[in-house]
Amino acid sequence: MSLVDDRQRHLERIAEVREGRSAAKVGYPIGIRRTEVVRTVAVGTGLLRVTLGGEGTDGFEAHAPDEHVKLIFPEPDGSLRLPEPNGTMLRWPRPMPTAREYTVRRYDPAAREIDIDVAVHEGGLASGWARTARPGDVLHVAGPPGGLIVPHAYDRYLMAGDLTALPAIARRLEELPRSARGWAFVEVADAAEEIELSAPDGVEVHWLYRGDRPAGSGDALERAVTGVSPAEGERLYVWVAGEAGQIKPLRRWVRDTLKLDRADYDITGYWKRGVAAFDEDH
């Protein structure tokens, strides 16, 4: 089967899931791309948007709000170790190259641009790179490997997370039908980290300020989210991401209190305090 046939097959699957009743992950052919920095711009005080462009973005795929790519960085000795194309997949060298996963905030095929919103923090590899990135700098991008396609058939949607989840929440709010209803909870340091969101009128957006408390600590997000009382009989979809330990109680709440079917929620640890390059799947 050719790459064109494979792409058509997964696009048909995406359309099928969107028209269905339950969310499902749909894989795409995974590529490795050489991109160049086009520009960087602050989005609030907490995020730095890096726009990547160039011929390497041709044929890029972006169909799901929470899909991610791996940004591949040089090793400490300056060498660059890249995966190799292997059909619709990639063959990765061992040990794994130095890389970080980020949400695809936006893809514009006409402009050949990919936006990646990086949470700014001290000591972060990607954060440090983004702060010093200049137009023309080269960055290799792998993926995305696919994404979670969520139908528009739910009665309400609940989204929650911290600053690292904000790009995915922002994109999901943009892509929801304008008739959608629900809630979005975002924990940030203060009002300066808030950003403009294009939420449907029926979705309540709640900003939670942690103040001087370290990111990923405290139970403010848990208390706010579990204060929601979905109407009996309504179908609810829940999406949560953030610090692995902080969102753990929400897994129990969704499973044990809401008793949602597994296809009706997605809760993912994007990072873990004290752990570099955290990957919940490994």
Tell me: the pLDDT tens digits for 52-71?
999 999 989 899 998 999 99
pLDDT at 282 over 50: no
pLDDT of 11: 85
User: What's the mean pLDDT when you consider all of the chain?
Assistant: 93
Count other Cβ atoms within 10 Å, centred on residue 209: 13
Top pLDDT among 96 and 8 is at 96
Q: Dig out the tokens for 93 from the structure.
A: 């060298």
pLDDT reported for residue 178:
97
- Tell me the pLDDT band of 19, cut-offs 50, 70 and 90: very high
Instruction: Report pLDDT for 270.
Output: 94
C-alpha to C-alpha distance for 173 and 197, rounded to whole angstroms: 7
Place of tokens 């890096």: 50
**Between 141 and 5, residue with greater pLDDT:** 141
In DSSP terms, 99 is beta-bridged to 72
Q: What angle do CA 157, 245, 188 make, to 5 degrees?
A: 60
* Residues 153-180 as b or e (16 or more Cβ within 10 Å = b): ebebbbbbbbbbbbbbbbbbbeebeeeb
Q: Tell me: the pLDDT tens digits for 217-261? A: 999 999 999 999 999 999 999 999 999 999 999 999 999 999 999
For residues 62 and 7, give the distance between their C-alpha atoms in angstroms, rounded to a whole number.
12
- Are 253 and 194 in contact by the 8 Å Cβ rule? The answer is no
List, in sequence order, the alpha helices (H) in 51-203. 125-132, 166-175
- For 79, 102, 105, the CA distances from 172, given in Å and listed in that order, are 37, 15, 10
107-132 confidence digits (pLDDT tens): 999 999 999 999 998 888 999 999 99
Direct distance between the N- and C-terminal alpha carbons of the chain, in angstroms, rounded to an integer: 30
- 73-78: long-range contacts (C-beta < 8 A, 24 or more apart)? 73/97, 73/98, 73/99, 73/100, 73/125, 73/126, 73/129, 74/98
